[in-house]
Amino acid sequence: MEPMNLLASPLAAWYGIHARDLPWRRAEATPWSILLSEIMLQQTPAARVVPYWQAWMSTWPTPRDLAQATTAEVIQAWGTLGYPRRALRLRECARVMADQYDDVVPSHESILRRLPGIGEYTAAAVAAFAFKQRTVVLDTNIRRVLSRASAGEALPLPHLTAAERSMAASLVPEQIPESVVWNQSTMELGAVICKAREAACESCPVKHLCTWRKAGFPGDIHAGLRRTQPWHGTNRQARGQVMAILREADGEPVPLAAILATTPDSTRILNALDGLVTDGLAVRDGEAVRLP
């Protein structure tokens, strides 16, 4: 047996004791609530997601509830989670489930992938965590853990490869309950212990099996392939500024001049506004701007 195959048991034991008490992990969580959490958790820490998730579940406890929400309501509720297009895609997804799947989340991974805004990772995660199926879940955290423990590399390649998928699939336990715990525990390890920048290796339950640790923690050999994503002065920052102003206005039109007055870089704001209008996140009425 390869050393990497020995990870499942100690990870499961560690997870049983140290797993965070997140609301979408509780027994009463519904498939819809789990799907919602997976969309919100994309590029957003769990601690930030929890209050938004709770508010959304209180307001829209089923797909049909969200399907009937207005664009402005959805954008307001999404708040500062970032990438607000996710919210609109989530509503599209809810409408399809309400109209075509009798207001329930499909249980098959292949069907989940046909829904708006649901990609490879989300479909696999929902199938595993909501429906207790054997799937290959590969988020950023799991990829990092497997890269370090198996390949001895600090970080995986920027994009998934066929070889990485194959390696990950070979590690998923055959028995369904164990496979679900494998996905949960490996993801949790990456989120709280095996972090990208500050790995808490001394607290790791599988440090004695980690190839990266045995190799002396070599640096990131793929660093040259990674694109840094600055924030200040970017179009994304400008979009966030405009969206914050529109949310603060609570649906009322905001004079364009008032938005431009918030920054000396009017060109960047205008470009960001054009993108928001194109994405359906804002409406421009003459010299005023509002939420849809």
Any idea which residues carry the catalytic annotation?
38
Whole-number Å distance between alpha carbons of 146 and 156: 8
Whole-number Å distance between alpha carbons of 111 and 96: 12
Rounded CA Rg of the chain: 21
- 71: exposed, middle or buried (Cβ count in 10 Å: 0-12, 13-18, 19+): middle
CA atoms within 13 A on the CB side of 148: 30
Give the containing element (helix H, strand E) for 51.
helix 46-59
Residues 6+ apart with CB under 8 A from 253: 285, 288, 289, 290
Residues 6+ apart with CB under 8 A from 142: 168, 183, 186, 187, 190
* Nearest-10 Cα torsion for 191, 216, 138, 66: 20
Q: DSSP code of 228? A: P
Q: DSSP code of 233? A: T
Place of tokens 């998928």: 165
